[in-house]
Amino acid sequence: MIDLIKLHKALEILKPNVQWTLVDDTDSTSLTEDLYNNIGWVTGEDSNGVAITTKTNPHSEITWTKVKEEMDKL
């Protein structure tokens, strides 16, 4: 399993308080670009309080390259 703590920290550095989800059912021990592209970005919530997500990253300041750079620093 990938290091979710590093991923979370990297995303927080790039955009504090960003909300996201990731289901990793692989045996991968590192974050790959393909896995990064499976992040669900929280864009709101429905009337029941359930997160609304999109696979299209709405945050221009968060890119695969920048996330990878930040994770490598940690």
Query: For residue range 23-40, what is the model confidence (pLDDT) as tens digits?
Result: 877 777 788 898 899 999
Q: Who has greater pLDDT, 29 or 63?
A: 63
Q: What is the pLDDT of residue 39?
A: 96
Closest of 51, 52, 54, 63 to residue 10, by C-alpha: 63
To the nearest whole number, what is the mean pLDDT of the chain? Answer: 92
* Beta-carbon count within 10 A of 71 CB: 19
With cut-offs at 50, 70 and 90, classify the pLDDT of residue 10: very high
CA distance 65 to 37: 12
Q: What is the pLDDT of residue 67?
A: 97
pLDDT over threshold 70, residue 1: no
